[in-house]
Structure 1
Amino acid sequence: MTTEELDTNEKRAFLEWRRNLARLQENEELVLTPFEKNLDIWRQLWRVLERSDLLVMVVDSRNPLFYRCPDLEEIDEHKRTLLLVNKADLLPLSVRRKWADYFKEHDILYLFWSAKAATAVLEGKKLSSQTMEESDTDLDTKIYGREELLVRLQGEAEYIVSQKGTSAAGEEHESSSDSALVRPKRVVVGFVGYPNVGKSSTINALVGEKKTGVTSTPGKTKHFQTLIISEELMLCDCPGLVFPSFSSSRHEMVACGVLPIDRMTKHRGAIQVVANRVPRNILEQVYKITLPKPKAYEEASRPPTAAELLMAYCTSRGHVSHAGLPDETRAARQILKDYIDGKIPHFELPPGEIDDETDAEDNSDLEGSSTAAADQSDDGASDEDDEEINRAEPNISHALNDLASFDMNGQMTKGSTKKKKKEASHKHHRKPQRKKDRSWRVGNDGADGSGVIRVVQKPAVNLAASTLAS
């Protein structure tokens, strides 16, 4: 196949794939998130997949399933994908253990890793967190160092190559024992993933020096590059790709750092994602602010709205726009950057963890209520009727209490406004106006409502007498 034929086939396949996505979006009425539409960027991914023996998918430890792309794991049956969970030092040990159990249950090859911690060790800096020391004894939750990760990657890649050689030799009816012992000259490990998950930082930490550009803006790496670590290991870095998804939203992608923060036009949607994920007390502790409490007719556990969070942040920091209004755009960008960098602690639990806990609480509540009903079975009929009424209408009583509190709040607010109005009349002192003298006006005796006209007649002058006197 020539170069022109390969280029034509790639364009045709890419256009057909995009048409199928558009057809799904139209017929099934699904919302498709923004994804990479540049064919050259996808070609970089294809070249990395062709060269690599082991494919390493770098994900963020705070939400690994959001950054994972299962479709890449099914491209080649002779290649295996390793999930490198970056920024693992931001997770508590108990949360790492839950994710380790989830990965083992679903047969996912994974490793916990922190590019920031590895870079700090290379530079001779002291680590402030104690997560590295806590997980040294448990291999499932251990955060690997630079040397340990390189050894593990090389071993996994050599095992895959040896298995591939064994299967090829079996098809050709040759001895599998000799081919299994043959070690490849150099294995290639490819790094792929979403933008801004730490691929370039991982490459620099593994190489030991800065070979790729690192920035908080997604899409810094434009072309794939190969880096030789030793005579037996070579790394291949791929540009960050935004894969199409029907499950996530655009605001969620901005909050997770996949889409650039500086280019967002609607900031309240992304801030609402942060407010829904981070508890109220943590936001108040991190920023030293006081968020408005839920009202009497609202749920006490509701998250703060985006407007409340932005207003409290702008008030505490003094961010004001040219028009004298709170500068919400500036505040939103700073909050999102703190959220991505880890200044605001947050993480997602594996699927089913929260549901199991709530189910256990519901079951315990049901058991307690059944035992209490059995103990009170000897009471009078009137007591049983009252209990049945109270149990049958818990929502009505709760709603009545909310309405009563709402009316009391309304009356209190009305009384306070009246007092404020009365006090305001004493505060505002107006200058006394002088009454105008309108006594010169002539009254209308007829009182018919018509205007009154005053007629002034001048005295007549005798012209003949004046001529004789002269």
Structure 2
Amino acid sequence: MPQGRRKVPFSGKAKKEQLKAKKQSKKMPLYHRPDGDSEGESGPVIQKINYQSSKAGKSRPNRYALQFFRETNEEIKAKKEEARQTVVKVKETDLEIHCEQFFDPALGFPKRPPWNFDLSKEQLDMQENKYFTEYLKNVEMRYDLKQLSYFELNLETWRQLWRVLEMSDIILFIVDIRYPAAMFPTSLYDYVTEELKKDFILVLNKIDLSPAPLVAAWKNYFERRYPLLKIVMFTSLPGYNLVGQRSDKGGLQIRRRKGRIRMAAEGTEQLYQVCQGIVGSYVDLTSWHSKIKEEMNENYLEEEKLEIGETITVKNETDYFQYEKYRGGILTVGCIGQPNVGKSSLMNAIMGKKVVSVSKTPGHTKHFQTIFLTNNVRLCDCPGLVFPSKVPKPLQVLMGSFPIAQLREPYTTVKYLAERLDLVVLLRIDHPYNDDTWSAMDICDGWAKKRGYLTAKAARLDSYRAANSLLRMALDGKICLCLRPHHYSMKKDYWNSHPDVAKVKWIQALGSDGDSEVGDTESSSGEEHNVIPDDSDAEDSDEDSSDSEQEVSVAANKFAVLTNE
């Protein structure tokens, strides 16, 4: 205590009031509705995710914490009642979606407001805060919040997007091939191509989880509807980086990653060709192509050689970045996408080593990171952003946009899955109550009974834990739901024989029969591979999956066609 200052009496009651006020201030919503209250019964309350307590020496640790509108207790109760209703299978055509049904052009997304050099940092910060608050109020006035998806309510995260859009020469937008139309904001496409006049590349990621004809159909869907798009198909886990069978007896998908993996050369080569066609002679990409050739010739990437890239934290995010195309002869590629689409994994695969930390938790990447691929090619990783849309919440959970651990009611999402997939056959479960009909709650109880999930006190079937287990399996791709473009069901034969199917299988590193191609010389020498299951929760794996653990030969080195000029 400073000298000369007299102690002031401070009672325990006053201390309690101080802590209560501090706790209440942390729960304050981003803004208040005039008719709302603090409990969210008549007005929206913000649910903060990845929230951290303040630590000494660390200012504003929660500036990038995810924030969403929270559901009321009445809504949660109603959804639980719906989960007890009999599951009714939807038609095959109901699996078909398109971008326009989710993204209203009038809804848009927060864009950086106009500025000028006469504004100080404080004035610009105040202007952006005012704009963002008005944007949220306009959204609430024009739309029913219950019909809108959960979207990011944190201004600091949107500022990261603004900075990446400003400094990038090429925008790389990544979507999950299972739900691409629900992840592609048309307003961002219009903004980048029409206002910013920048090139836009769409990456269909995780194509190893989808049948090749469906990938070809989605590729043609986006090419037809958005002519300025350039499409790249990618997977960081092609067939030669996996071991064992791809499904068990019931049809659950299994992806077991090898301990030593190769660079995903097929997708990287495709991305290089697209970027080369864009930049032409303005930037020399020879070093990038040489890097790809060099890493193609390497047998494996050793886990011991993993490197963590440098994280660039920008102190003054509100300052303006004066854009100059190909500044200093450097190509800057900005990687944007919603959480859990595989941005960081894609960057690691392009680099051929681990440079970005990867996590299944939405919001893991807090601020944008820049990594130099070569001396004149720079990648910029933007935090995962949930764009405003009308995507239903169950689909958002399956997409990974909303954290499963933060779900207050997971049964609605299980019901969404059960209406589109035969979960009873996939999971090979028996009805827990010997009934003839199944509800979402019955499926959760049946899985809890099979896995032995019981509550601690009463030893009842733990439905909540079982539901979370099923949703994690869906997020990981074990329970694989792939939505389709319009009219796909009517043209299945056409897509099965489409010319792009062969290219998709080449990127997936699959043979004509859908299995990994064989013939690798190192595999034939009898060397055992360290198998790492692609699953963070070991107890989620089925006990019968041991039938699928037989190793198969790894893919042949078929990159000669790329390395030979």
Q: Residues 85-164 of structure 1 correspond to what in structure 2 (within 5 A)?
A: 85-106=204-225, 107=227, 108-117=229-238, 145=266, 147-159=268-280
User: TM (normalized to structure 1)?
Assistant: 0.60
Q: Is the 8 A contact 1:153 1:189 kept in 2?
A: no
Q: Residues 182-197 of structure 1 correspond to what in structure 2 (within 5 A)?
A: 185-197=329-341
Distance in 2 of aligned mates of 1:113 and 1:315: 38
Partner of 2:126: 8
Q: Select 2:477's aligned residue among 342, 360, 368.
A: 342
User: TM (normalized to structure 2)?
Assistant: 0.50
Q: Report deviation, 1:103.
A: 2.2
Q: Is the 8 A contact 2:233 2:267 kept in 1?
A: no
Q: Select 2:198's aligned residue among 68, 74, 79.
A: 79
Partner of 2:294: none
Distance in 2 of aligned mates of 1:351 and 1:82: 22
Q: Is the 8 A contact 1:113 1:144 kept in 2?
A: no
Query: Is 2:392 aligned against 1:249?
Result: yes
Q: Is the 8 A contact 1:219 1:240 kept in 2?
A: yes
Q: Report deviation, 1:109.
A: 2.3
Return the letter of the residue paired with 1:319. Y
Relative to structure 1, the CA distance from residue 144 to residue 292 in structure 2 (aligned partners, 3 Å threshold; closer, same or farther) is farther
Distance in 2 of aligned mates of 1:155 and 1:127: 36
Partner of 1:319: 453
Partner of 1:305: 439
Relative to structure 1, the CA distance from residue 18 to residue 183 in structure 2 (aligned partners, 3 Å threshold; closer, same or farther) is closer
Q: Equivalent residue of 1:82, what SS?
A: strand
Q: Report deviation, 1:290.
A: 3.6
Return 186-195 or 15-24, whichever deviates more: 15-24
Distance in 1 of aligned mates of 2:131 and 2:407: 31
Q: Select 1:60's aligned residue among 176, 194, 202.
A: 176
> Residue by residue, what CA displacement relative to the aligned partner does 1:429-469 show, whole Å, maximum 9, x if unpaired?
xxxxxxxxxxxxxxxxxxxxxxxxxxxxxxxxxxxxxxxxx
Which segments of 5 or more consecutive residues in structure 1 lack a partner in the other structure? Answer: 130-142, 163-181, 299-303, 358-470
Distance in 2 of aligned mates of 1:5 and 1:351: 47
Q: Is the 8 A contact 2:397 2:403 kept in 1?
A: yes
Partner of 1:208: 352
Distance in 1 of aligned mates of 2:168 and 2:123: 23
Relative to structure 1, the CA distance from residue 126 to residue 330 in structure 2 (aligned partners, 3 Å threshold; closer, same or farther) is closer
Q: Report deviation, 1:292.
A: 8.8
Q: Select 1:51's aligned residue among 167, 171, 176.
A: 167
Distance in 1 of aligned mates of 2:190 and 2:265: 26
Distance in 1 of aligned mates of 2:393 and 2:188: 22
Relative to structure 1, the CA distance from residue 116 to residue 105 in structure 2 (aligned partners, 3 Å threshold; closer, same or farther) is same
Partner of 2:369: 225
Distance in 1 of aligned mates of 2:372 and 2:426: 42
Q: Report deviation, 1:9.
A: 2.6
> Residue by residue, what CA displacement relative to the aligned partner does 1:238-262 show, whole Å, maximum 9, x if unpaired?
00011111x2222221222111111
Higher relative contact order (CA 8 A, sep 6+): 2
Return the letter of the residue paired with 1:205. A
> Residue by residue, what CA displacement relative to the aligned partner does 1:343-381 show, whole Å, maximum 9, x if unpaired?
113211112323678xxxxxxxxxxxxxxxxxxxxxxxx
Residue identity over aligned pairs, in percent, reads 32
Distance in 1 of aligned mates of 2:344 and 2:327: 29
Distance in 2 of aligned mates of 1:112 and 1:144: 12
Q: Is the 8 A contact 2:178 2:482 kept in 1?
A: yes
Relative to structure 1, the CA distance from residue 306 to residue 91 in structure 2 (aligned partners, 3 Å threshold; closer, same or farther) is same
Partner of 2:256: none
Residue-pair matches, total: 310
Relative to structure 1, the CA distance from residue 330 to residue 191 in structure 2 (aligned partners, 3 Å threshold; closer, same or farther) is same
Q: Is the 8 A contact 1:53 1:160 kept in 2?
A: no
Q: Select 1:287's aligned residue among 427, 443, 446.
A: 427
Partner of 2:147: 31
Q: Report deviation, 1:317.
A: 1.7
> Residue by residue, what CA displacement relative to the aligned partner does 1:46-86 show, whole Å, maximum 9, x if unpaired?
00000111111110001111111111112243112211011
Distance in 1 of aligned mates of 2:191 and 2:244: 39
Distance in 2 of aligned mates of 1:86 and 1:201: 10
Q: Residues 373-388 of structure 1 correspond to what in structure 2 (within 5 A)?
A: none
> Residue by residue, what CA displacement relative to the aligned partner does 1:141-176 show, whole Å, maximum 9, x if unpaired?
xx97254045135325415979xxxxxxxxxxxxxx
Which segments of 5 or more consecutive residues in structure 2 lack a partner in the other structure? Answer: 1-116, 247-263, 284-325, 493-565
Work out which of the two has the higher radius of gyration on C-alpha atoms and give 1 or 2: 1
Distance in 2 of aligned mates of 1:274 and 1:185: 49
Distance in 2 of aligned mates of 1:73 and 1:160: 26
RMSD: 3.1
Distance in 2 of aligned mates of 1:161 and 1:55: 17
Q: Is the 8 A contact 2:202 2:231 kept in 1?
A: yes
Relative to structure 1, the CA distance from residue 102 to residue 329 in structure 2 (aligned partners, 3 Å threshold; closer, same or farther) is same
Which ranges of 4 or more aligned residues in structure 1 deviate by more than 3 Å?
125-129, 159-162, 290-296, 354-357
Q: Is the 8 A contact 1:157 1:189 kept in 2?
A: no
Relative to structure 1, the CA distance from residue 274 to residue 191 in structure 2 (aligned partners, 3 Å threshold; closer, same or farther) is same
Q: Report deviation, 1:201.
A: 0.7
Distance in 1 of aligned mates of 2:237 and 2:164: 25
Relative to structure 1, the CA distance from residue 205 to residue 325 in structure 2 (aligned partners, 3 Å threshold; closer, same or farther) is same
Partner of 2:411: 268
Relative to structure 1, the CA distance from residue 98 to residue 127 in structure 2 (aligned partners, 3 Å threshold; closer, same or farther) is farther
Q: Is the 8 A contact 1:223 1:238 kept in 2?
A: yes
Relative to structure 1, the CA distance from residue 201 to residue 127 in structure 2 (aligned partners, 3 Å threshold; closer, same or farther) is farther
